[in-house]
């Protein structure tokens, strides 16, 4: 494996054309030096390869500060490189430049130059030639890797999020403090107990806790994240084994990923693509072997499975690949990378991720976000991970707690060897792997660049199975590692790393309490008891005012907090936490609480009954009729729970309101309505609307074009990448309807607040 790197001074940049000196950058850790045994070509026996590289040289870091005109040569290690005033590129097209000489021994073109063409559009044709490329250099294209996602005024406004979050949390707890104090005061004044009022306080806190914890995490954005946008230049690069894991997916889906993986901008003799087929598909094997005639670095592998012997799902498949590469020509690569079967990598994927491992010898793993190109318009099920990848992961990365998210990551083989490869017995081997690495003192990185695009599940059932599997895997990993609070396996984790692991496991488990507490509100209303108890009208006024302050501050915080992911995406995530909680709670109880004879099962969500055929709900031509969609989602996929809750809650609201209208005076009627069903901010409206989403999905599912229409495919090579339009979530009227609900509840809360001063 690679040896640890040494400290070396960055070469100063000089503008040879003007004579002006450029500021000397600070010192950094360089990548490890690879010896001749470690830096072999992967394909020495008959495979096309480049001439042997000089492996005694270190990787040098090439900074690209502004102020120099394009074309300014940059010196480093004896070579010259024309990096000058760089503007962050947007890689929209790739122009192939033939740099081969007439000599038959000339190496293949340096394709890394092609991705730099947008930086110098006016340069002569001889500009992107081999003579300026310095092998093994790392270019810094921008001081921030997420500059392509968001910048300018939005970034500055987002810096207010921690302060607004702190204010919102303080006002919420002031409100709850008054609620508790006034219930206690009312009990003393009336010499009775208000158990249902205490229950409603518990409901409010339970509904607010996920918001509290999510918002609390954003307060750590005060710690500035300083991860630059890097590129690895030249052909003197480490070897990489790229695993494409699959198990029963459509051949066309897998082959699109395989072709794109073979086409990445990286010397062909320094990486190989290995398809690890856990489904042992004969048709896929034939197709991959046919492609191997075009891509000499492509292989197909399928592990044997024996009856009664656990195969450990994806982790077992990856470990099989890690063992197999030792028997392949050239042995194991210095780094290992993995792609899910549906994740199409961008051409600069490896050159963008690897530098973060090379500049820090303690960096074990670097992972880009999982982005998608077939998300339905409006994303009704909140299938995109935009809030997680654009808000949560960058903050975690700043604290040194970046997770491996399962695809697109590159990992150091030395770190994998130290933890015994991928841990077995977990449905979330990616989270477990990064957690164990952090526990051994390694580092992990989140590379916030759009470097891979995949597909979300195309039906309701598959979405439930995916998300409940994630929840079970996260909780199971936490149980095995004692919630990362103590133990030998995590003894080198920092306080922030332990806190993060505990927080996300707790949020998954909290779905059980959240599901139970949601039923408390309609029960209180049916019983005819007030949701709010107080001793006198003055206390009621202060409760209303504190509630208004908490609600408005939370709304303003949401506007700022959701800036990186988009406001509507953040709101969908909040609703998703509510309607998805019964599914996650059920699976967690079955997995970790119930014995087998009571229905316990160590698996993700499984529908009841027998499904005769797929619903095809997102295909306008082939989708099942409405009655069958409703029956399947309500009965087989257990959305009947959501239907029952909405019906029960609305009946409770109507019954409670009817009792209020029996009051003798208008004032008593209004106070009764406010203190019963219509206590601001009308929690029942938001909860019922969220729980109705599965029913709405069954009645009016979104339409998604055929996958081929979402891709730009090269007719000659068959290589496909998502279109620009498919990479964003299209707007749908449902988002406007949800915003209308939020606006209405906010205005209602404001109206009650104003009335507290007038009456």
Q: Each residue of 598-607: pLDDT tens digit?
A: 777 766 666 6
Residue with the larger pLDDT of the pair 63 and 575: 575
Residues 6+ apart with CB under 8 A from 475: 505, 508, 509, 588, 591, 592
What pLDDT does 222 receive?
A: 64
What pLDDT does 208 receive?
A: 76
Q: Helix and strand tally (H, E) in the chain? A: 23, 19
What pLDDT does 525 receive?
A: 87
What pLDDT does 705 receive?
A: 95
Retrieve residue 329's tokens.
């020509």
What pLDDT does 1 receive?
A: 38
User: What average pLDDT does the chain have?
Assistant: 81
What pLDDT does 14 receive?
A: 32
Q: Each residue of 338-368: pLDDT tens digit?
A: 999 999 999 999 999 999 999 999 999 999 9
Confidence label for 147 from pLDDT (cuts 50, 70 and 90): confident
Residue with the larger pLDDT of the pair 226 and 262: 262
CB hemisphere CA count around 176 (13 angstroms): 18
What pLDDT does 87 receive?
A: 29
What is the pTM assigned to this prediction? 0.82
Q: Each residue of 295-325: pLDDT tens digit?
A: 999 999 999 998 888 889 899 999 999 999 9
Radius of gyration of the chain (CA): 29
Helix (H) or strand (E) holding 186: helix 161-190
Retrieve residue 23's tokens.
């500021």
Retrieve residue 290's tokens.
């046919």
What average pLDDT score do residues 715-729 get?
95
Retrieve residue 216's tokens.
């609390």
Confidence label for 9 from pLDDT (cuts 50, 70 and 90): very low
Q: Each residue of 358-412: pLDDT tens digit?
A: 999 999 999 999 999 999 999 999 999 998 999 889 989 988 999 898 899 999 9
- For 681-694, give one letter per residue: b (16+ CB within 10 A) or e: bbbbbbbbbbbbbb
**What's the rounded Cα separation, in Å, for the pair 520 and 199?**
7
Q: How far is CA 339 from CA 252, 273, 321, 740, in A?
A: 15, 10, 13, 40
What pLDDT does 531 receive?
A: 81
Residue with the larger pLDDT of the pair 230 and 86: 230
Are 579 and 691 spatial neighbours (Cβ–Cβ below 8 Å)?
yes
The distance of Cα 384 from the centroid of its chain, to the nearest Å, equals 8
State what percent of residues in the chain have pLDDT above 70.
80
What pLDDT does 630 receive?
A: 95
Of residues 84, 48, 56, the one with CA closest to residue 68: 84
Confidence label for 117 from pLDDT (cuts 50, 70 and 90): very low
Of residues 551, 445, 477, the one with CA closest to residue 230: 445
Of residues 60, 63, 59, 73, the one with CA closest to residue 15: 73
The distance of Cα 49 from the centroid of its chain, to the nearest Å, equals 37
Are 137 and 233 spatial neighbours (Cβ–Cβ below 8 Å)?
yes
Domains of the chain: 157-222+511-758 (no CATH), 237-456 (3.90.550.10)
What pLDDT does 374 receive?
A: 96
Which of 26-35, 135-144, 599-608 is predicted with the least confidence, judged by mean pLDDT?
26-35
What average pLDDT score do residues 480-499 get?
87
Residue 702 has pLDDT above 70, yes or no: yes
What average pLDDT score do residues 638-647 get?
95
What pLDDT does 75 receive?
A: 30
Q: What angle do CA 499, 505, 509 make, to 5 degrees?
A: 135
């Amino acid at each position: 494996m690679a040896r640890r790197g040494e400290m070396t001074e960055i070469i100063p940049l000089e503008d040879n054309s003007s004579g002006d000196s450029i500021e000397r950058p600070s010192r950094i850790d360089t990548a490890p030096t690879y010896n001749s045994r470690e830096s072999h070509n992967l394909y020495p026996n008959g495979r096309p390869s480049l001439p042997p590289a000089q492996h005694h040289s270190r990787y040098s870091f090439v900074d690209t500060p502004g102020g120099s005109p394009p074309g300014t040569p940059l010196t480093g290690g004896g070579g010259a490189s024309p990096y000058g005033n760089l503007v962050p590129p947007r890689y929209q097209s790739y122009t192939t430049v033939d740099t081969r000489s007439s000599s038959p021994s000339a190496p293949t073109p340096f394709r890394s130059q092609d991705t730099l063409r947008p930086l110098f559009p006016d340069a002569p044709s001889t500009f992107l030639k081999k003579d300026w490329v310095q092998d093994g250099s790392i270019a810094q294209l921008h001081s921030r890797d997420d500059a392509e996602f968001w910048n300018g005024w939005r970034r500055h406004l987002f810096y207010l999020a921690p302060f607004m979050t702190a204010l919102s949390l303080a006002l919420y707890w002031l409100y709850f403090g008054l609620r508790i104090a006034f219930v206690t005061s009312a009990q003393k004044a009336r010499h009775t107990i208000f158990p249902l009022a205490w229950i409603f306080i518990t409901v409010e806190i339970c509904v607010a806790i996920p918001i509290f914890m999510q918002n609390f995490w954003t307060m750590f954005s005060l710690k500035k994240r300083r991860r630059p946008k890097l590129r690895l230049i030249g052909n003197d690069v480490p070897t990489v084994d790229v695993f494409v894991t699959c198990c029963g997916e459509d051949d066309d889906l897998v082959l699109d990923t395989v072709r794109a993986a073979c086409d990445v901008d990286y010397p062909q003799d320094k990486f190989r693509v290995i398809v690890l087929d856990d489904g042992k598909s004969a048709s896929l094997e034939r197709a991959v072997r046919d492609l191997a005639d075009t891509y000499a670095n492509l292989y197909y592998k399928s592990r044997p499975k024996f009856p009664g012997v656990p195969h450990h799902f994806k982790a077992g498949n990856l470990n099989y690949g890690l063992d197999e590469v030792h028997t392949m020509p050239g042995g194991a690569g210095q780094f290992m990378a993995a792609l899910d079967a549906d994740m199409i990598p961008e051409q600069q994927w490896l050159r963008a991720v690897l530098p973060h491992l090379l500049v820090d010898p303690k960096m074990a793993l670097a992972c880009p976000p999982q982005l998608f190109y077939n998300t339905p318009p409006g994303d009704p099920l909140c299938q995109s991970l935009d809030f997680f990848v654009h808000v949560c992961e960058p903050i975690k990365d700043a604290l040194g707690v970046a997770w491996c998210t399962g695809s697109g990551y590159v990992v150091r083989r030395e770190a994998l060897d130290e933890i015994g490869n991928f841990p077995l017995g977990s449905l979330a081997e990616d989270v477990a792997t990064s957690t164990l690495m952090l526990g051994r003192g390694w580092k992990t990185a989140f590379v916030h660049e759009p470097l891979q695009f995949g597909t979300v599940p195309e039906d309701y059932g598959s979405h439930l199975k995916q998300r409940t599997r994630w929840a079970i895997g996260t909780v199971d990993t936490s149980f095995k590692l004692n919630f990362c609070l103590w133990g030998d396996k995590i003894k080198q984790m920092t306080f922030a790393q332990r806190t993060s692991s505990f927080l996300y496991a707790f949020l998954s488990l909290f779905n059980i309490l959240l599901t139970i507490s949601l039923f408390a509100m309609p029960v209180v209303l049916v019983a005819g008891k007030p949701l709010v108890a107080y001793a006198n009208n003055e206390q009621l006024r202060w409760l209303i005012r504190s509630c208004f302050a908490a609600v408005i501050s939370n709304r303003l915080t949401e506007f700022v907090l959701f800036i990186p992911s988009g406001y509507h995406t953040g709101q969908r995530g909040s609703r998703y936490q509510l309607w998805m909680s019964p599914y996650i709670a059920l699976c967690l109880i079955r997995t970790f609480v119930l014995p087998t004879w009571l229905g316990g099962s160590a698996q993700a969500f499984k529908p009841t009954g027998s499904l005769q055929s797929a619903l095809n709900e997102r295909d306008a031509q082939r989708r099942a009729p409405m009655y069958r969609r409703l029956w399947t989602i309500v009965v087989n996929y257990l959305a009947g729970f959501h239907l029952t809750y909405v019906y029960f809650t609305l009946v409770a609201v109507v019954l409670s309101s009817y009792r209020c209208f029996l009051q003798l005076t208008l004032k008593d009627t209004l106070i009764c309505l406010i203190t019963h069903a219509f206590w601001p901010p009308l929690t029942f409206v938001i909860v019922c609307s969220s729980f109705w989403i599965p029913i709405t999905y069954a009645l009016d599912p979104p339409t998604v074009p055929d996958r081929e229409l979402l891709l730009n495919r090269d007719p000659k090579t068959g290589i496909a990448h998502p279109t620009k339009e498919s990479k964003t979530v299209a707007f749908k009227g449902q988002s406007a309807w949800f915003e209308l609900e939020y606006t209405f509840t906010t205005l209602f809360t404001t109206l009650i607040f104003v009335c507290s001063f007038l009456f």
